[in-house]
């Protein structure tokens, strides 16, 4: 069975789209009128075939390339599972999918990843013209997936949660990088850290996936940063051309303002840009021209914390978004503003907010105080 029978022909199918409607007036009249009944049927058949090819092209366009790549990996895993256990891959059955889930769970996949794999299997059946298997209606399958989730929770008890970035930890990073030889590289790392935090960004949005993985139509460049005023800027505007939730790459502009202290992201970013010798390629580059990768950023982050005697365990690229949401909520910034700053489409960000224990402990007092205030009114 071909894994990508449609995606491979997408480029050729796209070219047919522009040839679908005849542009010559005489040809148009001829195709409408036809020389005979057989000629009409033949032309109609050819037009219908072209329409079907355009449908295939549009069908492929309905999934983002990044999603298609993930689905490709999932399909290979599913077909390998079917071959190993002697099961026909299509049409899918609830029993077979439950076994596939058990197979993936045994290999250590989380329930969230398993759901993506199931979505890929569904897509495979739809592509083969066998209809939607309606996985949501498979009660046993849903319960098996929830079982994986509960099992992972039980296995993860006692493990540390991802630590949120805080302004205190940012200060530790600032001090650590300020004493590292090679000023421009340290400035670059500090600018990346402050922009990620105060911009509520994902670390992958300002880094590149690998040293050779830079793509100017996706990743940040020098031209993507602007200020409101050259002489005395109060904010920077960062143009994101693509992101995790921007499947069609509409892009968006982040506005990051000054803080007026040593943690100021505006001063950090503009200060780095002032000393950087690179104007082409990715925005964040070392003096050598090597781009800052997502993995490299995390290595630098952990090393900076360890130099200051701070345990780096639990910190990851996502710590910045978790920390930004937590810090904003702690200082009273409203839900709607936090959601907009982080570009969350729903209130899912609330799961990132990690209230301090002291704050939780003060809630009963606040509740009693509120009741007492109402009683005197």
**Domain locations in the chain?**
7-61, 65-156, 167-357
The arithmetic mean of pLDDT across residues 112-125, rounded, is 94
pLDDT at 249: 77
pLDDT at 340: 86
Tokens 């920077």 found at: 236
Per-residue pLDDT band for 40 (boundaries 50, 70, 90) equals low
Q: How far is Cα 362 from Cα 357, in angstroms, rounded to an integer? A: 9
Instruction: Return the minimum-mean-pLDDT range out of 38-47, 79-88, 228-237.
Output: 38-47
According to CATH, the topology of domain 65-156 is DNA polymerase; domain 1 (1.10.150)
Give mean pLDDT, residues 95-121: 94
The number of beta carbons lying within 10 Å of the beta carbon of residue 99 is: 16
82 and 120 Cβ atoms separated by less than 8 Å: no
> For residue 278, how far is the Cα from the chain centroid?
27
Is the domain spanning 167-357 CATH 1.10.443.10? The answer is yes
Who contacts 254 (Cβ-Cβ below 8 Å, separation ≥6)?
199, 200, 201, 237, 238, 239, 240
pLDDT of 361 reads 58
| H/E element, 239 | strand 235-240
Question: 289 falls in which pLDDT band (50, 70, 90)?
Answer: very high
Fold match between 65-156 and 167-357?
Answer: no
Nearest to 355 by CA among 113, 164, 145: 164
Residue predicted with more confidence, 340 or 175: 175
Per-residue pLDDT, 349: 63
Asked if pLDDT for residue 6 goes beyond 60, the answer is no
Q: Which long-range contacts (CB under 8 A, 24 or more apart) does 53-62 make?
A: 53/13, 53/16, 54/13, 54/16, 54/17, 54/20, 56/6, 56/9, 56/13, 57/10, 57/13, 57/14, 57/16, 57/17, 59/6, 59/127, 60/6, 60/7, 60/10, 60/13, 61/10
Q: Could you give the count of Cα atoms lying within 13 Å of 58 in the half-sphere of its Cβ?
A: 7
Joined together, the tokens standing for residue 118 give 């199931």
Query: Which positions ≥6 away from 119 have C-beta within 8 Å?
Result: 71, 74, 135
Q: What share of the chain in percent tops pLDDT 90?
A: 54
Alpha-helix runs per DSSP H in the chain: 10-17, 25-33, 37-61, 65-85, 94-106, 111-127, 139-156, 167-178, 183-198, 265-275, 294-307, 319-330, 335-341, 357-361, 363-375
Task: Return all residues near 350 (Cβ < 8 A) that are at least 6 apart.
Answer: 335
Residue 159: predicted pLDDT: 54
Taking only the tens place, the pLDDT of each residue in 309-362 is 999 999 998 899 999 988 988 888 888 888 888 888 776 666 666 666 555 555
Which of 211-220's residues contact partners 24+ apart within 8 Å by CB, and which partners? 211/290, 211/291, 211/293, 213/293, 214/281, 214/282, 214/291, 216/281, 217/241, 217/242, 217/249, 218/242, 218/249, 219/282, 219/283, 220/282, 220/283, 220/284
Q: Is the peptide bond before 91 cis (omega within 30 degrees of 0)?
A: yes
Sheet holding 235-240, edge to edge: 225-227, 235-240, 252-257
In this prediction, residue 245 carries a pLDDT of 72
Q: What is the pTM of this model?
A: 0.63
More confident call, 139 vs 184? 139
Predicted local distance difference test score (pLDDT) of residue 52: 87
Q: Is the pLDDT of residue 220 over 90?
A: yes
- pLDDT confidence of residue 39: 59
Please say whether the beta carbons of 325 and 352 come within 8 A.
Answer: yes
Q: Does pLDDT of 182 surpass 90?
A: no
Flag whether pLDDT at 4 surpasses 70: no
Q: What are the residues facing 293 on neighbouring strands?
A: 208
pLDDT number for residue 24: 44
pLDDT digits (tens, 9 = 90+) for 10-37: 444 444 334 443 444 444 444 444 455 5
- Sign of the dihedral through C-alpha 219, 220, 223, 225: positive
Residue 38: pLDDT band (50, 70, 90) is low
Residue 306 has pLDDT above 90, yes or no: yes
Banded pLDDT at 365 (limits 50, 70, 90): low
pLDDT of residue 225: 96
Q: How confident is the model at residue 371 (pLDDT cuts 50, 70, 90)?
A: very low
With pLDDT > 70 as the criterion, what percentage of the chain qualifies?
79
- Determine the Cα–Cα distance for residues 278 and 252; give it in Å rounded to an integer: 24
Quote the CA–CA distance of 163 and 305 in Å, as a whole number: 13
| 140 or 326: which leads in pLDDT | 140
Average pLDDT over residues 211-240: 92
């Amino acid at each position: 069975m071909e894994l990508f029978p449609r995606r491979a022909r997408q480029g050729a199918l796209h070219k047919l789209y522009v040839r679908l409607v005849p542009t010559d007036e005489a040809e148009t009249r001829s195709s409408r009128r036809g020389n005979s009944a057989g000629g009409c049927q033949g032309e109609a058949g050819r037009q219908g075939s072209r329409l079907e090819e355009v449908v295939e092209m549009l069908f492929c366009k309905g999934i983002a390339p990044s999603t298609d790549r993930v689905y490709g990996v999932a399909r290979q895993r599913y077909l390998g599972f079917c071959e190993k256990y002697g099961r026909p891959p299509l049409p899918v059955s609830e029993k077979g999918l439950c076994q596939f889930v058990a197979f993936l769970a045994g290999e250590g996949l989380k329930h969230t990843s398993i759901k993506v794999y199931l979505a890929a299997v569904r897509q495979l059946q739809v592509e083969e013209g066998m209809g939607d298997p309606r996985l949501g209606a498979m009660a046993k399958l849903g319960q098996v997936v929830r079982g994986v989730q509960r099992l992972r929770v039980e296995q993860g008890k006692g493990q540390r949660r991802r630590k949120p970035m805080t302004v205190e930890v940012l200060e530790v990073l600032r001090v650590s990088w300020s004493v590292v030889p090679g000023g421009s590289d340290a400035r670059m790392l500090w600018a990346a850290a402050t922009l990620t935090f105060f911009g509520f960004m994902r670390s992958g949005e300002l880094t590149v996936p690998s040293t050779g993985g830079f793509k100017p139509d996706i990743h940040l460049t020098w031209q993507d940063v602007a200020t409101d005023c050259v002489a005395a800027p109060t904010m920077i505007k960062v143009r994101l051309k693509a992101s995790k939730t921007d499947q069609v790459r509409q892009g968006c502009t982040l506005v990051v303002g000054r803080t007026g202290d040593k943690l100021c992201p505006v001063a950090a970013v503009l200060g780095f840009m002032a000393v950087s010798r690179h104007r082409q390629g990715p925005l964040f580059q070392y003096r050598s021209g090597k781009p800052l990768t997502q993995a490299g950023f995390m290595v630098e982050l952990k090393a900076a914390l360890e130099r200051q005697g701070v345990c780096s365990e639990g910190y990851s690229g996502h710590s910045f978004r978790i920390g930004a949401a937590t810090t904003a909520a702690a200082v009273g910034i409203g839900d709607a503003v936090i959601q907009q700053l982080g570009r969350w489409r729903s209130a899912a960000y609330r799961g990132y907010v990690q209230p301090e224990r002291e704050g939780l402990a003060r809630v009963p007092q606040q509740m009693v105080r509120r009741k007492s205030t109402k009683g005197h009114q």
